[in-house]
Amino acid sequence: MGMRRKVGSTKSPSVFSHEFVIQNHADIVSCVAMFMVVGLMFQVTQQTASLFITMQHNHTEVFNDTEPPTEVTYYTNGRKDFCSVFFYLLIAIVLHAVVQEYILDKVNRRLHLSKVKHSKFNESGQLVIFYVASVIWGSNIIFEENYITNIAQLWEGYPHSDMLFQTKFFYICQLAYWVHCFPELYFQKVKKDEMPARVQYASLYLVFIGATYALNLTRVGLCCMVIHYFMEALFHVSRMLYYSEKMDFAKTGFSIWAVLFVIARFLTVTLAVLTFWFGLGRAENQIFNMATGNFNTFLIRINCLAAISLLQVWMMWNFLNFQLRRYREATAAKQKAKQRQKERREAKLQAAKKRGSEASSDEGGDTDVSLTPRANKAENGGPRTRNRGGKKH
């Protein structure tokens, strides 16, 4: 699972050197994760190991309205979730290495991409797999909880401190994945000029997902994530097609993504306004209570709504700049193509004129040579005759 060595390198790096850690980081991390799993087998370490592997802060409720009574386990957030995030951070690093070695590296060998395209192709490939898995997983939760048919569930019954296992596990995996992006900058030897963009979007994901999880806004956060991830998955698929030189498919994908991007921004702002302004704004319980997880106050609602709206405006600004840059590049490429065609036409015309002038000069030279004997005869007074009768006296 570690990174493959370069062909022709016979000298192995020293143990615990930077190169050794980078080449074998997946094996090292998998050993640490396996050590935690083995801890579940022994009673002495079982409690500590379960702190990292299983979901914490749970309680069971019994519903007697059915026969037989049913027990449902609910989960809340808490400090122990940091341990779970750490363990699944290790799993994310291992899965990242598996996808890189057994899928993306094989595709890259066939495409023969440059170093710059190789790095961006790998980035998009990793994100596509994560986005698609998250969209499928999140959509399943949305349909099971009937958030689409009853959208009022996004704000009714707040605070939504009690979560089912799938919802809590979904958020833990989301946080673990975006945290794992930071050590991957070191493991993948990302260039310095590419780091700011990756750190920026990973940090934004962490801040907003962490805020929705801590403020018990998991329902509206889940819907917004699914909408955004679907659009991002389409963008990175189109990006991979572009780097694979599948220009027709890439152009179609980018066109569809451009439309869906605007729709996604509109839907996100709509959900935010419905939840924070109308839904939670009309709720009866608007008193801050840390014990029950109630953060429904005017100040928090306005800040959440402003943060989401400003993020959508910022994304739209970047989107418009991206589209303008693409339009300018396409226009410049067309102008260069026209200029090249014009230069080729002029070169062909000049070549044709040159060939015509050479042909006419050759014809003129042949005519002069054919007239030269006649001109000589005329200058000498006509043709000379041989005196056959002998000398004249």
Q: Which pLDDT tens digit goes with each residue over 92-119? A: 999 999 999 999 999 988 888 888 888 8
pLDDT at 390 over 50: no
CA distances from 190 to 85, 106, 148, 178, 312 (A): 24, 20, 40, 16, 28
CB-facing half-sphere around the CA of 192: CA atoms within 13 A: 0
Asked if omega into 383 is within 30° of 0 (cis), the reply is no
H-helix or E-strand containing 60?
strand 58-63
Task: For residue 363, name the pLDDT band (cuts at 50, 70, 90).
Answer: low
Lowest mean pLDDT among 58-62, 99-103, 282-286, 379-383: 379-383
Q: Tally the domains of the chain.
A: 1
Among 64-68, 90-94, 268-272, name the one with the lowest average pLDDT: 64-68
Q: How many CB atoms are closer than 10 A to CB 23?
A: 19
- Answer whether residue 27 is part of any domain: no
Q: Would residue 47 count as lying in a domain?
A: no
CB atoms closer than 10 angstroms to residue 149: 8
Residue 335 DSSP SS3? helix
In a domain, 229, yes or no: yes
The mean predicted confidence, pLDDT, of the chain is 87
Long-range residue pairs from 265-270, CB within 8 A, at least 24 positions apart, any chain: 265/312, 265/315, 265/316, 267/227, 268/224, 268/227, 268/228, 268/308, 268/312, 269/308, 269/309, 269/312
Residue 289, beta-bridge partner list: 294
More confident residue, 321 or 390: 321
Confidence bin at 301 (pLDDT 50/70/90): very high
| pTM of structure | 0.82
User: Would residue 345 count as lying in a domain?
Assistant: no
Q: Is the pLDDT of residue 371 over 50?
A: no
Residue 344 forms part of a structural domain: no
Let me know if residue 272 belongs to a domain: yes
Mean pLDDT of all residues in 238-249: 91
Per-residue burial over 225-237, b if 16 or more Cβ lie within 10 Å, else e, is: bbbbbbbbbbbbb
Q: For residue 32, how many C-alpha atoms fall within 13 Å in the half-sphere facing its CB?
A: 15
Q: What is the pLDDT of residues 14-37, one digit of tens each?
A: 777 888 888 889 999 999 999 999
Distances in Å between the Cα of 299 and the Cα atoms of 66, 118, 160, 305, 307 are 42, 46, 19, 10, 12
Tell me if 184 is assigned to some domain: yes
Domain assignment present for 383: no
- Give mean pLDDT, residues 239-250: 91
pLDDT at 68: 78
Task: Please identify which residue in the block is written with the tokens 């070549």.
Answer: 351
Mean pLDDT, residues 229-258: 93
**Can you tell me the distance from the alpha carbon of 214 to that of 57, in angstroms, rounded to the nearest whole number?**
13
Range of the domain at 77: 55-336
Distance between CA atoms of 137 and 124, rounded to whole angstroms?
A: 20
